[in-house]
Copies of this chain bind each other. A is one copy, B any other.
Amino acid sequence: MGRYDLALIGFGGVNRALAELISQRGERLADELGFALRVVAITDLRAGSLVDTDGIDLAPLLAAEPGELSFADLPGGSAETRNENVIREVAADIVVEATFTNPGDGEPALSHVRWALEAGKHVCTTNKGPVAVAGRELKELAERHGVSFEFEGSVLSGTPVLRTARRMFGGLEITGVQGIMNGTSNYVLGRLEEGVELPEAIAQAQELGYAEADPTADIEGHDVQLKAVILANEVLGADLRREDVVCEGISQITPRDAQDALGKGLRWKLVGSATRQADGTVTARVAPVALPAHHPLAGISGPGNAVSFHTDLLGTVTVSGPGAGRTETAYALLSDIIAIHQRHHAHDDTTPVRRALKEAPRG
């Protein structure tokens, strides 16, 4: 059986949850997937860096309180983060990038991804920043170095959206995509429908752990804006940047608006969308939309997320599921690792037989 050695960049909730999966069900996963996973390096802004090319023992790290963790006193450990050194030099097969998203320049994640791809390492990330800012460049860089760049978790955590678009719709044309891609704003809109004022609704979202301490990116649509860029570029083949996406959040919607709409059978939703226009160009936007009850996104309640694909042969197909969560997002990374395996190594055991395919003259 084969094995992948991982370097985890960032050891916050998501990569910690991935380490838990590897630690707790690594053998079961290996039996099912046909490969083992081993962590050979971890870096973290607070904890420092830890390298053991024979495989890091994860259990004691996971037993420690996240805030208390320090690599400085461990063998192979350092108080310094040493991201560039670890990413470039440590003999890992896959660099798993899960630091924080800077929506402006995508840094420092963008550099992490570049360093890894330049070093001929596969990369998977849950980070919207590098994908939205430089997705095309990074995919080309990966191609040149014969490795994969995977980022399913950048949209709707582990709910398969980008991979559904890529793998499930061969032979048809996707003409547009629209989604509810932010759980906080969707939860808040639901509370407005119940008559709760915006500040209180936001406070409730924070209490429930949906919203960040600073909810601006959620409420003003900036989080969805990055995801709309990713959908436009990945699903519709566009080359948009964040500033190409007109963005309006939900801060102008009052409980009265929400309740009036509800009375008319409409639900206000914060919708991020990308559409292919008649001239072939792709436009994207983020805006609150009052959706009729039969719309596939109208029934997405609470912190739920969903993305609808509009197609020529199938009409509208919608995938809904979690948009956040530690384990849910860590699963996106696992699904990326499986995709890397399938692309680079898994061919022999999925092919019981090959038969000659007739040669047809190219029409």
A interface, CB within 8 angstroms of B: 1-5, 21, 26-27, 29-30, 32-33, 35-36, 38, 93, 143, 146-147, 158-160, 163-164, 167-168, 170-172, 293-294, 296, 298-302, 304, 306, 313-322, 325, 327-328, 330-331, 334-335, 338, 343-345, 347, 350-355, 357-360, 362-363
Q: A331-B314, A345-B354 are contacts. A171–B32 as well, Cβ < 8 Å?
A: yes
A173–B213 Cα distance when bound, in Å, is 33
Q: Which one of A4, A93, A298, A314 has the highest number of Cβ atoms from chain B below 10 Å of its Cβ?
A: A314
Contact of A335 among B171, B325, B334, B357 (CB under 8 A): B171
Candidate in A26, A27, A353 with the most chain B CB atoms within 10 angstroms: A353
Known: A301-B293, A352-B146. A314 touches B30 (CB 8 A): no
The answer to whether A360 touches B170, judged by C-beta atoms less than 8 angstroms apart, is no
Instruction: Choose one: B2, B294, B306; the contact of A302 (CB below 8 Å).
Output: B294
Q: Interface centre among A1, A158, A330, A357, by most B CB within 10 Å? A: A357
Q: How many copies are assembled?
A: 2
A111 to chain B, nearest CB (A): 24
Tell me the bound Cα distance from A313 to B352 in angstroms. Answer: 30
Contact across chains for A351 and B358 when beta carbons are under 8 A apart: no
CB-defined contacts of A362 to chain B, threshold 8 Å: 1, 30
Residues of B within 8 A of A344 (CB): 351, 353-355, 357
